[in-house]
Structure 1
């Protein structure tokens, strides 16, 4: 569920950050994203800038901060480099390099699609760090499968981003980079392109077009069709649940409709 976003940087947070990185000359709130109370680009007195995201230490999803920190080194350079992890004064803050760039465009014909595929191919070689407590995709999907035995289809040791909303993909210097690893998980490597396919449908592709693009991932065509069928059905049920609970947000209804369209395409 979305987290309330502060519109101004609290004075106590600014003090903690300045102790870590030096004087701050200016701050810009970043409006994209739903999982942080603080998301801000800071311009530093030493030159350059950093991106800071954070939650209060008593927030029920504060564990996502540690997850992002733990997987940062294993992301094949796709994530922005983590500079500092600050846990003081009631706040949990991650200080990243500021990538800049722009959000990816998933619309049909966009040149960004090839860049996203390139990022996925790079990520396909990443393995979930064995010393990091990541949820597995069987765990995450267990509530939504129609047959409990289907969760075994999602098993794997690949490091997965899983949140392919266009806001989480930045295009910089002809390359796609991935931000917001809060929902990083381990599982079968074809799952990331499957999740991307749903967002491609939201962005204007037909279900067939979206799946054709997902199939360009190196692990897609070696995956049994009934594994992907089971995952598509689970995603339909997941997004139906999210859309029902999170009704005021139009985007959740759009993603649910895309998941329904994907299941319909595969059933046909």
Structure 2
């Protein structure tokens, strides 16, 4: 959650931002879903602008640098980053403002086909992986799974929380701060856990995933291993930092792993 407001930025930083936006007349802070110190929609004479800001001594600044590096390579399903400001110990990124609501993943939601179509389009549009420096899935999952099982040449988002799917006149996928290069089915696998958390059974969640071609083409043993590794990862995260959302996600991931590996 953002812990600062636009007004908390040093005057020197706000001045540089306004050299890109024009005078900022107001700012509406985001209510959820951001690791930034500041995440807000800025009201300007030329229209709204979304910005996220983080202090450069914050370890999570690496995520913002990754997003800034990746954004120019993304299809237009992602809001375009228009400027980057690094000033007085702050990194600030400015994006096209995207109106919309967060996706609803519960059983029967009309958003479910839209999310499936979006994951399909992302896998198609980001294979082969654009020539941008990102972590390999083989490195990210090193020590948890046979690296060959998650290897691939697709740029995958990896943070498929419903907060990162904005539905309006069209769907937009935001917050590309954790991408990696790997198997094209990874985002669908991660979404299955989100669906289970939202009330789907593992069989129903996998049935939903069957409409996504890269999932249907995935190697079942790789999925089995990934589900088990993901359950262990969420359990570890819950113990390290028992944030409210982590318990339900750990339970959902374990439910899926047990479904895939009933004799484990």
In the TM superposition, what whole-angstrom CA distance separates every residue of 1:144-188 from its partner, at most 9, and x where no partner exists? Answer: 33xxxx121100110100101111110011x32111111011100
1:31 alignment partner in structure 2: 31
Q: How many pairs were matched up?
A: 258
Maintained 8 Å contact 2:2/2:39: no
Residues 74 and 128 of structure 1 are in contact (CA less than 8 Å); yes or no, is this contact kept in structure 2? no
- Deviation of the 1:74 alpha carbon: 2.5
**Counterpart among 128, 146, 149 of residue 153 in structure 1:** 149
For residues 118-267 of structure 1, what are the structure 2 equivalents within 5 Å? 118-125=117-124, 126=126, 127-130=128-131, 132-145=132-145, 150-173=146-169, 175-247=170-242, 249-267=243-261
Q: Which 5+ residue runs of structure 1 have no aligned equivalent?
A: none
Indicate how the Cα distance of structure 1 residues 96 and 33 shifts in structure 2: closer, same or farther if over 3 A, else same.
same
Note if contact 1:160-1:185 (Cα within 8 Å) is conserved in structure 2.
yes
Separation (CA, whole Å) in 1 of partners of 2:68 and 2:2: 22
Quick one: distance in 2 between partners of 1:11 and 1:159?
A: 33
In 1, distance between residues paired with 2:5 and 2:236? 29
> Counterparts of 2:182 and 2:212 in 1: how far apart (Å)?
15
Unaligned runs of 5+ residues in structure 2 are none
- SS at 2:158 equivalent: coil
CA contact (8 A) 1:75 1:123 kept: no
Q: Does 1:9 align with 2:10?
A: no
SS at match of 1:234: helix
CA distance in 2, matches of 1:120, 1:214: 10
The worse-fitting range, judged by mean Cα deviation, of 13-22 and 256-265 is 13-22
Secondary structure of the corresponding residue to residue 40 of structure 1: strand
Give the match's secondary structure for 2:152.
Answer: coil
SS of structure 2 residue aligned to 1:220: helix
Q: Secondary structure at the match of 2:256?
A: helix
CA drift of 1:128 comes to 2.3
SS at match of 1:109: coil
- Displacement, 1:4? 5.7
| Equivalent residues of 1:138, 1:154 under 8 A apart | yes
Given that 2:2 and 2:30 are in contact with CA atoms closer than 8 Å, whether structure 1 keeps it comes out as no
Q: Give the SS at the match of 1:53.
A: strand
CA contact (8 A) 2:157 2:180 kept: yes
Change (3 A) 1:83 1:259: same
Measured after TM superposition, the shift of residue 141 of structure 1 is 1.2
- Residues 198-243 of structure 1 show CA distances to partners (whole Å, capped at 9, x for unaligned) of 0011111111111111222111122111000111111011101110
1:82 alignment counterpart: 81
Whole-angstrom distance in 2 between the partners of 1:252 and 1:238: 11
Partner of 1:97: 96
| Equivalence for 1:57 | 56
**1:61-100 C-alpha deviation (Å, 9 max, x unpaired):** 2121121122213322111111101111211111000001
State the Cα RMSD in Å.
1.4
Q: TM-score, normalised by structure 2?
A: 0.93
